[in-house]
């Protein structure tokens, strides 16, 4: 019976209507749809549209001015980033590169030039701000450990472990030069004005991790306080030339990324029976 059948079998499937960015209009049981045939040729499925293979016609050939207007109105964020892509392509290809004999150019250093002059001329203020920043780092650490040891929620701690390990790998792999105008302090973190990795900022990333955990627990006011202190911390780090702007920006992204990965790890760990052997930690990590 199978040998008598036709080799190509047509099956009708329903797809979303054009234009491609709009949802189907459903009225009762009637759905505006476009029929596409799927043929089986040599055991492989190929979609056919209007007698032609579906993959042959470029997607943009079906676009209309109405589609473009729809995207510009309801998807303006990607449009803004598209304009940013074109702008920075122009900037990149027309910008003179910094010669190897000059210090790196950092826009954040330019913006905080006045603050740097104040801190350079007033070591007492610099030391005070450094001490306050170290207290803030202690607050981050205390909250993350409290969430794990007291409340039994390890996600923030796992996130911090992921983050600082990755930071160590990246910081050692590419060791950026210390800015020439760096203003150190003996009470800054790491305490004692010792060496440290520039890329990326653990100060900023740790604060983001703590703030995200606070939001999960609906501690909104505390989270906003940490966000404000994190911004002030970033300004101070630029003013003292303790970090490049890129260190701070990536620090924000790293905090978000590793918090997400820690959440995924928590989800996967719940299904692993190996955690039963962890004794007292089983109830915390599962």
Three-state DSSP state, 15: strand
pTM for the structure as a whole: 0.73
pLDDT band with cut points at 50, 70 and 90 for residue 7: very low
Closest C-alpha among 239, 113, 249 to residue 184? 239
pLDDT band with cut points at 50, 70 and 90 for residue 232: very high
Distance from the Cα of residue 76 to its chain's centroid: 20
Q: What CA–CA distance (Å, rounded) separates 7 from 206? A: 62
Q: What is the pLDDT of residues 32-59, one digit of tens each?
A: 444 444 444 445 444 444 445 455 678 8
Q: What CA–CA distance (Å, rounded) separates 212 from 219? A: 10
Q: What CA–CA distance (Å, rounded) separates 280 from 125? A: 47
Is 243 noted as a catalytic residue in this protein? yes
Give the strand pairing for 11-15 and 30-31: unpaired
Query: Is 241:183 a contact under the CB 8 Å cutoff?
Result: yes
* 41 phi/psi in degrees, rounded to 5: -125, 120
Taking 70 as the threshold, does the pLDDT of residue 3 lie above it? no
DSSP structure class, residue 21: T
Choosing from 188, 213, 247, 259, the catalytic residue is 247
Choosing from 116, 188, 213, 243, the catalytic residue is 243
pLDDT for res 190: 81
Q: What CA–CA distance (Å, rounded) separates 171 from 190? A: 15
Is 203 noted as a catalytic residue in this protein? yes
Closest C-alpha among 210, 240, 241 to residue 227? 210
Taking 90 as the threshold, does the pLDDT of residue 208 lie above it? yes
Q: What CA–CA distance (Å, rounded) separates 284 from 110? A: 47
Choosing from 203, 213, 227, 259, the catalytic residue is 203
Question: How many other β-carbons are positioned within 10 Å of the β-carbon of residue 147?
Answer: 20
Position with higher pLDDT, 254 vs 11: 254
pLDDT band with cut points at 50, 70 and 90 for residue 192: low
* 137 phi/psi in degrees, rounded to 5: -60, -40
Structure tokens at 155: 């996600």
Q: Residues near 127 by Cβ (< 8 Å), separated by ≥ 6?
A: 185, 186, 187
* H/E stretch holding 37: strand 34-41
Length reported for the chain: 286
pLDDT for res 283: 56
């Amino acid at each position: 019976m199978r040998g008598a059948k036709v080799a190509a079998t047509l099956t009708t499937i329903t797809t979303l209507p054009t234009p491609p960015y709009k949802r189907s209009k459903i009225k009762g049981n009637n759905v505006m749809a476009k029929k596409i045939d799927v043929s089986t040729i040599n055991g492989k499925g190929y979609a056919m549209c209007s007698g032609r293979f579906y993959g042959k016609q470029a997607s943009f050939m079906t676009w209309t001015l109405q589609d473009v207007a729809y995207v510009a109105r309801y998807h303006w964020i990607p449009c803004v980033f598209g304009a940013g892509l074109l702008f920075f392509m122009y900037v990149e290809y027309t910008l003179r590169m910094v010669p190897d004999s000059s210090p790196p150019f950092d826009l954040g250093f330019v913006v905080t030039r006045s603050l740097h002059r104040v801190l350079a001329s007033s070591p007492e203020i610099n030391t005070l701000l450094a001490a306050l920043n170290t207290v803030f780092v202690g607050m981050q650490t205390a909250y993350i450990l409290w969430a794990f040891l007291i409340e039994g929620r390890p996600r923030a701690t796992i996130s911090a472990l992921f983050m600082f390990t990755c930071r160590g790998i990246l910081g050692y792999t590419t060791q950026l030069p210390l800015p020439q105008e760096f203003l150190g302090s003996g009470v800054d973190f790491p305490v004692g004005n010792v060496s440290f990795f520039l890329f990326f900022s653990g100060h900023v990333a740790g604060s983001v991790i703590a703030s995200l955990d606070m939001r999960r627990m609906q501690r909104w006011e505390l989270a906003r306080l940490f966000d404000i202190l994190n911004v002030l911390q970033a300004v101070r780090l630029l003013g003292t030339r303790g970090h490049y702007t890129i260190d701070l920006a990536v620090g924000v992204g790293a905090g978000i990324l590793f918090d997400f990965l820690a959440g995924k790890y928590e989800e996967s760990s719940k299904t692993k029976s190996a955690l039963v052997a962890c004794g007292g930690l089983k109830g915390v990590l599962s």
